[in-house]
Structure formats: C-alpha cells, structure tokens
Amino acid sequence: MPVSGSNRQSGRGADAAGNGTPVSAKMVFTINSDHDATLGVQQQILDRVENAGFAGRELFGIKLALLEAIANAINHGNKKDPAKHVHIEARISPKKIELLVEDEGPGFDRRGVPDPTADENLEKCSGRGILLIESYMGRVWWDRGGRRLRMVKEHIDSR
C-alpha cells in the first residue's frame, strides 16, 4: 500500500491566449519498499504517459525503465527494508517524460557497477537494470550520492 498516494497534479492548462498549450502534469508518490505496492503507482504513471501520446518502443522503454528503477530502489537502495520508502515523481507532457526515483539507502557509484554484457558477467542472474534504463531513456543521471535517479525521455518527433 502506498504510504501516501499524493497524486499531486500541478500544471497549467491553456495559456492566456487560449492556444491549448500542453499541460505538464506532475505526479508525486511515496511508497513502501514493497514490489506489490509499486504496481498501482507504475500503472498510474504509464497511463498518463500513454495518454500523452507515447507509444510503441518509447512506451515500452519508459515502462521498463520505470520498473527497473523502482526495483533497484527497493532491492539495492533500500535493501527491501520495509521501514524505508521510495519517492517517485513523474512529469509528463506530450513532448517529454521526466521520472525521478529516490531511495533511502546508502547510495552508490554508477562507475562501480560491472558491465553485465561482459563475457564473465553474462551468466549472472542480476545486474542488468541500469543497462536497460540507460538504453531506453534519453538522459539518465544520479545525484544525492546515487540515491536519486533522474531519467528523461523526449518524444522522438518533438521539436
């Protein structure tokens, strides 16, 4: 169950000229370190992403990246500690998706993560989440010592 399903949606509708400027909706969630608790949150976000016009490979990739980011936050960041939370934000517009996933763990250094495609790592059962996130999202970066992950995907037809 989400600790707080604060689905705050801040944004603006049509501008003063009534040009129907796209609304950028921001969604904010704080959830327990429980995979089941994340399913509803992921679906809410992805419904908005799809409604914003993302489809096909883009939608597939955003879905996978979000799932992997949350799984990493729970499993590796929070070490599945039920007392720790995952903070998720999504800003969605027809031109761009911005996702933020933050855990309450000790942080990590991206440079220390082994390449899962190296021969010696290919048969390992884990370690591919970051590779998939970076493969499908346009920009990916960490701050706050590795506890906060930000991902951006711009619609390929955006100008």
Partner 1 sequence: MADSTPPVEVTQEKDIRVVEFTNSRILDEGNITDIGRTLNVLIDERANPKLLLDFHTVDHLSSAALGMLINANNRIRQKNGQLRLAGIKPQIMEVFEITKLNRLFRILPGRAEALSSFAQ
Tell me which of 48, 63, 85, 148 binds partner 1, using CB under 8 A: 63
Q: DSSP letters along 87-136, please?
A: EEEEEE-SSEEEEEEE-SS----GGGS--TTSGGGTT-SS--HHHHHHHH
**Nearest distance from C-beta of residue 2 to partner 1, angstroms:** 14
Residue 93 CA to residue 127 CA, distance in Å, equals 31
Residues 34-53 that bind partner 1 (CB under 8 A): 35-36, 39
Q: How many residues sit in the footprint of partner 1 (CB under 8 A)?
A: 22
Decide if residue 113 touches partner 1 (CB under 8 A): no
When the beta carbons of 12 and 57 are compared against partner 1, the nearer one is 57
When the beta carbons of 65 and 92 are compared against partner 1, the nearer one is 65
Tell me which of 67, 69, 101, 140 binds partner 1, using CB under 8 A: 67
Nearest alpha-carbon partner for 98 in 87, 106, 90: 90
Per-residue H/E/C for 20-50: CCCCCEEEEEEEECCHHHHHHHHHHHHHHHH
Note the residues at the interface with partner 1 (CB under 8 A): 35-36, 39, 57, 60, 63-64, 67-68, 71, 116-117, 122-126, 128-129, 131-132, 135
